[in-house]
Amino acid sequence: MKVIIDRAIPYIQGILEPYAEVVYLDGNAFTARDVHDADCLVIRTRTRCNEALLDGSSVKMIATATIGFDHIDLQYCASHGIEVVTAAGCNAAGVLQWVASTLAMLAKEEGWQPQERTLGIVGVGNVGRLVEQYAREWGFSVLRCDPPRHEREGGDFLKLEEVAALSDIITFHTPLDSTTFHLLDERIVGLIPRHATIINASRGEVASTEALLAAPQRLCLDVWENEPNINQALLAKAFVATPHIAGYSAQGKANASAAAVRAIAERFALPLTEWYPNEVQRVERQDISWQRMCDTIEEHCDLAAESTRLKSGEEDFEAMRNNYHYREEYF
């Protein structure tokens, strides 16, 4: 059995070696020659798994240590018997704390309390649900847009246009697919109040760069089109600007690595289904008041410092992302 792993995935080194030949490569350096005799790939978003990479290979499983799957050609994999497993929900709490830090910065800068703001959440899955839960507890009025959930469940979901027009802050947590590409375009930006803030911690291509460049609203961005070669004018414009690290908590990364190992263990009958990194402490979700969060979040997630660092150019986008010191979750 042969497994090829993105070398940037933490905690996994040495775990599969007793059971398989393991090769570590840079995520953007996987080639068809590398994977032709592999049984399993363990990847992040930087590895594009498509026909060009997989055709003629012996790959039976792709375990992506991410919540998204837009880097994988699911149709090709399904038609060639390649199982695809994601780490859905693995970093939801990490993204929540990135959003919380963003909200705390905005409140300090603009001088408001949650009871005075309406928060629109676009995409209410694993991440969006958690953002909704804490936002309601903190006192925000919350509006939700999630067409797939509305179709399944009914309820008080609104159309995107309604959420855009009624929100003081609108935050995007959708997957990237054909229905969400440039979901935030010039038309939707035109509906959002000029005083509002746009937050994107989903995928860069969910928002049109041109629409964001022309937007009068304040921008808080963790994801960008054409990563890592992002638009420098947009970088300079953003109030919060980070290199796709919203979910980069120690616990989120541990959850993702554990999910990948568990999937491989189940598929290939390895005794690793309960494995979790010893060096990471699990954190139980707990309530935290708005005031306490605002008083403590900077110690754990200092987005002002991270934005300054990215904008300074002292370290490029990909290097800053790959060398990021994983935050500890604390609520």
Which positions are catalytic?
Answer: 203, 227, 244
Give the pLDDT confidence score for residue 39 in this predicted structure: 98
Question: How does DSSP assign 191-233, residue by residue?
Answer: HS-TT-EEEE-S-GGGB-HHHHHH--SEEEES--TTTTS--HH
User: Does residue 75 share a domain with residue 166?
Assistant: no
Is 264 part of a structural domain of the chain? no
User: Does residue 161 share a domain with residue 51?
Assistant: no
Is 282 part of a structural domain of the chain? no
Residue 98 near residue 222, CB atoms below 8 Å:
yes
Residue 140 near residue 166, CB atoms below 8 Å:
no
Written as tens digits, the pLDDT of the chain (331 aa) is 999 999 999 999 999 999 999 999 999 999 999 999 999 999 999 999 999 999 999 999 999 999 999 999 999 999 999 999 999 999 999 999 999 999 999 999 999 999 999 999 999 999 999 999 999 999 999 999 999 999 999 999 999 999 999 999 999 999 999 999 999 999 999 999 999 999 999 999 999 999 999 999 999 999 999 999 999 999 999 999 999 999 999 999 999 999 999 999 999 999 999 999 999 999 999 999 999 999 999 999 999 999 999 999 988 999 999 899 999 999 9
Residue 121 bridge partners (DSSP): 144, 171
User: Does residue 67 share a domain with residue 139?
Assistant: no
User: Does residue 155 share a domain with residue 231?
Assistant: yes
Is 117 part of a structural domain of the chain? yes
CA distances to 84, 114, 116, 160 from 169, rounded to whole Å, are 35, 11, 11, 13
CA distances to 86, 110, 226 from 207, rounded to whole Å, are 23, 24, 12
**What's the rounded Cα separation, in Å, for the pair 65 and 88?**
9
Domain count across the chain: 2
Q: Give 4's DSSP letter.
A: E
CA distances to 61, 117, 160, 173, 176 from 183, rounded to whole Å, are 31, 23, 9, 11, 9
Give the pLDDT confidence score for residue 99 in this predicted structure: 98
Q: Which helix (H) or strand (E) element contains residue 43?
A: strand 40-43
Q: Domain ends where: 56, 86, 116? A: 86
Tell me the CATH number at 175.
3.40.50.720
Is 230 part of a structural domain of the chain? yes
**What's the rounded Cα separation, in Å, for the pair 273 and 279?**
18
Give the pLDDT confidence score for residue 314 in this predicted structure: 84
Is 329 part of a structural domain of the chain? no
User: Does residue 139 share a domain with residue 42?
Assistant: no
Let me know how many helices (H) and strands (E) the chain has, helices first.
14, 11
Residue 268 near residue 1, CB atoms below 8 Å:
yes
**What's the rounded Cα separation, in Å, for the pair 191 and 185?**
10
The dihedrals phi and psi of 170, each to the nearest 5 degrees, come to -125, 125
**What's the rounded Cα separation, in Å, for the pair 189 and 227?**
22
Say whether 278 sits in a helix, a strand or coil. Answer: coil
User: Does residue 195 share a domain with residue 313?
Assistant: yes
Q: Domain ends where: 86, 111, 126? A: 86
Is 261 part of a structural domain of the chain? no
Q: Which helix (H) or strand (E) element contains residue 5?
A: strand 2-6
- Give me 65's structure tokens: 């240590």
Inter-axis angle of helices 92-110 and 290-300, nearest 10: 110
Inter-axis angle of helices 92-110 and 126-138, nearest 10: 40
User: Does residue 108 share a domain with residue 39?
Assistant: no
- Give me 210's structure tokens: 């041109």
Residue range of the domain that includes 73:
2-86
Is 301 part of a structural domain of the chain? yes
User: Does residue 202 share a domain with residue 107?
Assistant: yes
Say whether 135 sits in a helix, a strand or coil. Answer: helix
Q: Domain ends where: 36, 51, 86? A: 86
User: Does residue 71 share a domain with residue 12?
Assistant: yes
User: Does residue 46 share a domain with residue 100?
Assistant: no
Is 285 part of a structural domain of the chain? no
User: Does residue 193 share a domain with residue 63?
Assistant: no
User: Does residue 215 share a domain with residue 73?
Assistant: no
**What's the rounded Cα separation, in Å, for the pair 84 and 60?**
9
